[in-house]
Amino acid sequence: MTSTIARRRPLLAVLVFAIALLMATSACGASSAAAPGASAVKEIAVTIAGRKVTPPPGRVDVTKGQTVRITVTSDVADVAHVHGFDKAANLQPGTPAKIEFVADQSGLFEVETHGTGLQLCQLLVR
């Protein structure tokens, strides 16, 4: 009987390892699926050069509760502002400025510059 147990010991070790690996893998999937509102950061990059906004201003869909990160690079000093969330960043020529916040309210929100009055985009939060 001892010889039978000794022969099966490597098989048992592999089985225990496989079960542990399966449990760890399924736990990772469950935690990310179970986190409500867990979604990737919405990255928006805008460049201003010669009073031209690139990409051209448009609507950007955002999920309510999602983190939004807006990066603005301008050729002139100004202030970029997200209306409704009262978030702003000072723009210095050639230096990327970031505005980051959680979109915790639904609606349509303008993102613009104050000095030059340029619309950068609209955030449609649903």
The 10s digit of each residue's pLDDT in 16-26 is 444 433 333 33
Task: Report the percentage of the chain scoring pLDDT > 70.
Answer: 69
42-125 falls under which CATH superfamily? Cupredoxins -  blue copper proteins (2.60.40.420)
Residue 32: per-residue pLDDT: 33
The model's pTM is: 0.69
pLDDT digits (tens, 9 = 90+) for 32-65: 333 355 469 999 999 999 999 999 999 999 999 9
In sequence order, the 6+-apart residues with CB closer than 8 A to the CB of 99 are 68, 69, 70, 72, 80, 82, 87, 88, 89
The helix/strand/coil state of 35 is coil
Q: Would you state the pLDDT for residue 16?
A: 42
Query: Would you say 85 and 103 are in contact if contact means Cβ atoms under 8 Å apart?
Result: yes
Residue 27: what pLDDT? 33
CA within 13 Å, CB half, 103: 29
- Cβ atoms of 100 and 69 within 8 Å: the answer is yes
What is the three-class DSSP state of 114? coil
